[in-house]
């Protein structure tokens, strides 16, 4: 009986089904608290929903704010296209579309258990693999995010977990077939969430180093990976050039994100800007067009950083705190809130942060060859958001890898030969 129980709790199918059950249970619990007419409309009132509605209505990749403002490159194309397919099947801004989109998010998030499991198995064996997958199955953000954000967030978490596992697996050898698949996976990931591109040079560099150290390096295979990535992204890049007459490889909105986290509203001594409203920004976007709008934001953000270097460093530090703990003032917000659930999320974020260092230390001390790509998720992936603008949603694609790091903090890699 003990052997059967062990087989059950280490079964990736069982873990994935439990993960899916938890996510759907949270969805239906939360949905009961919100009027159906609100669920049918409010979750789609964002850029992804607006572009998807335009696509479903055969207007093209446009209308960022549900107004006829012309083509946009604000978003990468994959998730708006997925959401447009949902609208085509279930209607635009309907309750059925809400449940379909949320269900897809739950499936994406749950399936991330599989690459997390096999990454753990490669690093430390079955026990580590099962614990890592279980931690992701019950990871609070993994349960909450599919409901909270109809965006690429859950899809990005799955793609990030797949990139980690595939990178670890290909470190042994890289043939042309695997290189083609790996390049396609990276291309899809970049066209879903370009922020994942922060990991690309480090993963390719690590594969190059591993191949060189083991005398299995095939430079032509790595060049094939790069070529497939470029070819996968090229049609979208060409489309952007034809529409905007400038080079936009994946998406154009970084200037706005950079400005939104670095502007005069953060300077208590400035009277240049004391509030930012969505209405004013949308109105300005409509007046100037996307290219001019983003150029102005870029210049304003650069000027702010140049004239407020000390404040920028403070904001940078505050964004590091917000990325990992949820807000810039986690203790004050923990005390202030009267929601036990919100307090639980604060505690969960704190425990996650505290577990990362011992997990990485144990992996390093075990002399695992996989330390660098695992550590890249907490060390490298969030840096873009420290620079510009951050929320827990932005960090979320790295959370499956962080679940693996937490498992390493608990059991390390030494159990590989101890449990069978």
Task: Tell me the pLDDT band of 218, cut-offs 50, 70 and 90.
Answer: confident
Q: What percent of the chain has pLDDT over 90?
A: 85
Cβ atoms of 91 and 100 within 8 Å: the answer is no
Q: What percent of the chain has pLDDT over 70?
A: 97
- Indicate if the pLDDT at residue 416 is higher than 70: no
Q: State residue 216's pLDDT score.
A: 79
Q: State residue 2's pLDDT score.
A: 84
Q: State residue 329's pLDDT score.
A: 92
Q: What is the pLDDT of residues 239-268, one digit of tens each?
A: 999 999 999 999 999 999 999 999 988 887
Q: State residue 414's pLDDT score.
A: 62
Q: What is the pLDDT of residues 24-63, one digit of tens each?
A: 999 999 999 999 999 999 999 999 999 999 999 999 999 9
Cβ atoms of 398 and 377 within 8 Å: the answer is yes
The HSE-up count of residue 51 (CA atoms within 13 Å, CB side) is 22
The HSE-up count of residue 338 (CA atoms within 13 Å, CB side) is 0
Tokens for 160, please give them.
């990030």
Q: State residue 412's pLDDT score.
A: 84
Task: Tell me the pLDDT band of 273, cut-offs 50, 70 and 90.
Answer: low
Q: Kindly tell me the burial class for residue 310, based on how many C-beta atoms sit within 10 Å of its own C-beta (0-12, 13-18, 19 or more).
A: exposed
Q: What is the pLDDT of residues 384-402, one digit of tens each?
A: 999 999 988 999 999 999 9
Q: State residue 222's pLDDT score.
A: 94
| C-beta atoms surrounding 327 within 10 Å | 16
* Distance between first and last Cα of the chain: 15
Q: What is the pLDDT of residues 163-189, one digit of tens each?
A: 999 999 999 888 999 999 999 999 999
Q: How far apart are CA 16 and CA 118, in angstroms?
A: 13
Q: How far apart are CA 204 and CA 388, in angstroms?
A: 25
The HSE-up count of residue 235 (CA atoms within 13 Å, CB side) is 7
Find the mean pLDDT for residues 409-415: 79
Q: State residue 417's pLDDT score.
A: 38
Q: How far apart are CA 364 and CA 412, in angstroms?
A: 10
Q: What mean pLDDT is reported for the chain? A: 93
The HSE-up count of residue 30 (CA atoms within 13 Å, CB side) is 19
How many residues appear in the chain? 420
pTM of the predicted protein model: 0.94
Find the mean pLDDT for residues 291-318: 95
Cβ atoms of 268 and 315 within 8 Å: the answer is no
Helix (H) or strand (E) holding 190: helix 176-192
Q: State residue 310's pLDDT score.
A: 95
- Indicate if the pLDDT at residue 419 is higher than 80: no
- Nearest in space to 82 (alpha carbons), one of 116, 111, 51: 51
DSSP 262: S
Find the mean pLDDT for residues 350-374: 95
Cβ atoms of 110 and 158 within 8 Å: the answer is no
Q: ∠302-294-77 over CA atoms, to 5°?
A: 125
Task: Tell me the pLDDT band of 360, cut-offs 50, 70 and 90.
Answer: very high
Find the mean pLDDT for residues 95-120: 98
- Indicate if the pLDDT at residue 358 is higher than 60: yes
Residues contacting 200, CB < 8 A, separation 6+: 186, 190, 229
Q: How far apart are CA 285 and CA 288, in angstroms?
A: 5
Separation in Å, CA 102 to CA 44, 189, 197, 210, 306: 11, 20, 26, 40, 42
């Amino acid at each position: 009986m003990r052997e059967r129980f062990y087989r059950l709790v280490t079964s990736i199918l069982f873990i994935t089904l439990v993960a899916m059950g938890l996510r759907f249970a949270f969805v239906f619990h939360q949905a009961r608290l919100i009027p159906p007419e609100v669920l049918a409309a409010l979750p789609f009132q964002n850029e992804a929903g607006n572009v998807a509605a335009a696509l479903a209505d055969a207007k093209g990749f446009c209308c960022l704010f549900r107004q006829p403002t012309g083509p946009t490159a604000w978003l990468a194309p994959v998730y708006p296209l997925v959401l447009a397919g949902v609208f085509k099947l279930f209607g635009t801004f309907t309750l059925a579309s809400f449940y379909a989109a949320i269900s897809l998010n739950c499936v994406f998030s749950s399936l991330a258990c599989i690459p997390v499991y096999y990454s753990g198995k490669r690093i430390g064996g079955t026990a580590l693999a099962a614990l890592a997958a279980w931690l992701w199955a019950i990871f609070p953000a993994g349960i909450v995010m599919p409901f909270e954000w109809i965006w690429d967030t859950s899809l990005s978490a799955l793609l990030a977990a797949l990139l980690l596992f595939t990178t670890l697996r290909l470190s042994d050898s890289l043939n042309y077939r695997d290189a083609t698949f790996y390049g396609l996976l990276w291309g899809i990931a970049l066209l879903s969430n370009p922020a994942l591109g922060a990991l690309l040079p480090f993963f390719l560099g690590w594969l190059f180093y591993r191949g060189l150290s083991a005398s299995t390096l095939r430079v032509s295979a790595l060049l094939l990976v790069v070529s497939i990535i470029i070819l996968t992204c090229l049609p979208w890049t060409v489309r952007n050039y034809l529409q905007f007459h400038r080079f936009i490889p994946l998406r154009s909105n970084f200037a706005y994100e950079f400005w939104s986290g670095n502007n005069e509203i953060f300077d208590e001594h400035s009277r240049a800007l004391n509030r930012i409203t969505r209405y004013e920004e949308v109105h300005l976007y409509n007046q100037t067009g996307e290219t001019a709008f983003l150029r102005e934001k870029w210049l304003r953000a650069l000027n702010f950083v140049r004239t407020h270097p000390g404040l920028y460093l403070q904001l940078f530090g505050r964004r590091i705190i917000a990325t990992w703990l949820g807000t810039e003032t986690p203790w004050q917000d923990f005390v202030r809130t009267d929601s036990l659930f919100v307090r639980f999320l604060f505690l969960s974020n704190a425990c996650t942060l505290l577990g990362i260092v011992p997990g990485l230390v144990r992996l390093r001390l075990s002399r695992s060859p996989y330390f660098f790509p695992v550590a890249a998720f907490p060390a490298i992936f969030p840096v873009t958001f420290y620079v510009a603008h951050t929320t827990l949603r932005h960090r979320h694609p790295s959370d499956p890898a962080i679940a693996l790091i937490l498992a390493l903090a608990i059991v390390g890699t030494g159990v590989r030969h101890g449990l069978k």
